[in-house]
Chains A and B, each alone.
Chain A
Amino acid sequence: MLSQHAGNIRVLAGGTDLIPSMRQKLFEPRFVLDLRGIGELRGIYPQPDGGAEIGALTPLSAIERSSYLREHYPVLTEAAATVASPVIRNMGTIGGNICLDTRCLWYNQSLAWRKGCGFCIKKDGDLCHVAPGGSKCWAAFSGDTPPALLCLNAEIEVASANGMRRISLREFYPGDGINYRNLQSNELVTRVFLPAESAGYCGIYRKLRVRGSIDYPLAGVAVAMKRTSNGNGIGRVTEAHIALTAVNPAPVLVKSAGELLAGKNIDEALAEAVGDIAARTAKPLTTSALTPEYRREMIRVFTKRAILAAAQN
C-alpha cells in the first residue's frame, strides 16, 4: 500500500504534528496510514544484553515515566518529558518525534497566509524568506528526543514492503529542511534501539522555550556522559556526547565536544569552552520566535549548564 501510493500517503502515528499540518494544507495526502491501533509497535522492552528496544508508537508519556529508561537512559526520559504538553505527550510517539517535520514561521502557516507571502521553498514556492536568495531550506528540526537519541547512539528500524533495515540515527538526518530525513515514502520507522554500551550515562536535556509547556524547542541541548568513578563518585570524563536541536535543519551532534571533554575533570572553564563549540555548531535563523543570535547564545549557556549539571549527577 505504502509503495503503491508513495506520493499520496502520509503516515499518522500520534497525529500531533501531522493533523495540524494537514489543516494548514501543508499536506493534502489522498491516504493517511493511521498506525494508532497497532499494539505491536508500542512498548519499551529491556534487552538481555542490557540495551533497550522501544516501539515507534510508544507514547512519549510512557518514555517519560519508564523507570527503566530513567535509570539507564536518563537523557531520553528528560528530553521526552519536555515535549509540548502532558496531553500531547500522551498522544505523540517516539517515532513521530523522530520523524517530526522541520518547522519555520514561513512554512507552518495556513494556505491563505502562505499565499500572502508568495509561498516558500519548502512548500509550493521557490523563495526562502529566511535566507533570501538561497536555495537551501533552513526550516529547523524541532524534535526534543532526537538529540538525546543521538547522544545515546540509538539505531532505528525502518520497514517497508521490501523488508526491514536497521540504521544509526546519526545517519538519518541529512541536514536539509525539505528532505530532512533519509526515509523513502514507502518506508516506516518501526523501532528504536538503545545500545547496551550507552546505558548508564549521566544525561541532561535543556530546552529553551518561552512557556513552560506547549512550546516547541527554540533551542535544545542534550548531554550524555560517563565518568570514571573514584571513591567520591567524582571522576574524569571517559566519554561524552552533546547534541543540539531546533537550531539547524537537523538535530546535530557537536563533534569535537566529546574529544574536548574526554579524560578531563569538569570545571566551569571546560564547560564554558564546550559551550563555545556548541554555539559554533548551531546555525539558527529566523525560523521561530526569539532572535537567532539569542538562540545561539542560549546554546552556549545551556550547553555549559548541562555539562555542569551532568557533572553533579
Chain B
Amino acid sequence: MSDLLATLFHRSMRIAHGLLMKKELIPLRVNGRTHELAIEPSALLLDVLRQELQLTGSKRGCDDSSCGACTVLVDGGAMLSCTLLAASCEGQEVTTIEGVSEHGSLAAIQKAYGDWGGAQCGYCTPGFVMTVKSLLAENPDPTEEDVRHALSSNLCRCTGYNQMYEAIRAAIAAEQEGIAAK
C-alpha cells in the first residue's frame, strides 16, 4: 500500500508541476508515430491533436462531453479526446481518424459511410467512424441492437442515424468478403 501512495505522490508532483503553466516535453504516440511535444500538462488531448499536430479530423462539438465528435482510440478503446489530458496518454497508442485510412485507401467503413449516406455534413463523422472501429474490433459481427447501442455515444444532427446502420452493415459485409483488402 505504501507503494501505491508513493506512486500517487510521484504522479501528482508531475501534474502539479505542469499546472504552473510551464510546458513539459511529453512523448505522445499518435497513429503509429511518436511525437515529442512541449505541452502544458493541463492541455486536453483534443487541443493537442488539433493545434500541435494539426490533426483536425477530431472535432469539438460540445463543451460538456456529450457529443462524441472528438472520439479517438486510446489503446484501442474509444475515448473522448476533449475529456482526456494529453499528458495522461503518455505510453499509450492514440489512433485518430487520420490513422484509419490504411495504405492510402479508404477503410471499408469510410467507403461505406460515403456510399450509404452515413455522412451528410460530416462534422460528426470522424467520431462515429472511431466509435464503429472500436465496436467492430471488439465484436466483428454485431447485431443491429449492438450497433444502435454503440452509436449512442455520438450525436448526429443530420442523418437520424438510419443510413449509418446500412453503412455499417455494408462495411461488415465488405470486410467479410475481403473487398477492403483489394
Residues of A within 8 A of B (CB): 1-2, 5, 9, 12, 14-16, 19-20, 23-24, 29-38, 40-41, 85-88, 90-91, 108, 110, 159, 161, 164, 188, 190, 212-214
Contacts and interface: CB of A to CB of B under 8 A. Distances in A.
B83 A16 contact: yes
A89 to B, nearest CB: 9
B83 A188 contact: no
Nearest to B155: A214
B12 A15 contact: no
Given A87-B68, A159-B1, 9 more contacts: A19-B44, A19-B83, A32-B85, A33-B12, A33-B16, A88-B65, A90-B78, A90-B79, A213-B153
B63 A161 contact: no
Contacts of A36: 84-85, 88
Contacts of B149: 86, 213
B4 A38 contact: yes
A108 B87 CA distance: 26
Contact of A41 (B4, B90, B152): B4
Interface string B2-32: 0111011101110110011000000000000
A35 B11 CA distance: 8
Given A32-B19, A33-B8, A15 B153 contact: no
A190 B4 contact: yes
A214 B91 CA distance: 29
Contacts of B84: 15, 19, 36, 91
Interface core residue of A38, A91, A161, A212 (most chain B CB under 10 Å) = A91
Given A1-B12, A19-B44, A34 B87 contact: yes
Nearest to B64: A20
Contact of B65 (A1, A19, A37, A40): A19
Which secondary structure dominates where chain B touches chain A? mixed
B12 A9 contact: yes
Interface residues on B, range: 35 or more
A159 B1 CA distance: 9
B92 to A, nearest CB: 9
A41 B42 CA distance: 23
Contacts of A86: 78, 131, 149-150, 152-153
B142 interface: no
Contacts of B3: 40
B176 interface: no
Contacts of A14: 83
Given A86-B152, A214-B152, A20 B83 contact: yes
Contacts of A19: 44, 65, 82-84
B71 interface: yes
Contacts of A1: 8-9, 12-13, 16
B16 A5 contact: yes
A87 B15 contact: no
Contact of B85 (A34, A38, A88): A34
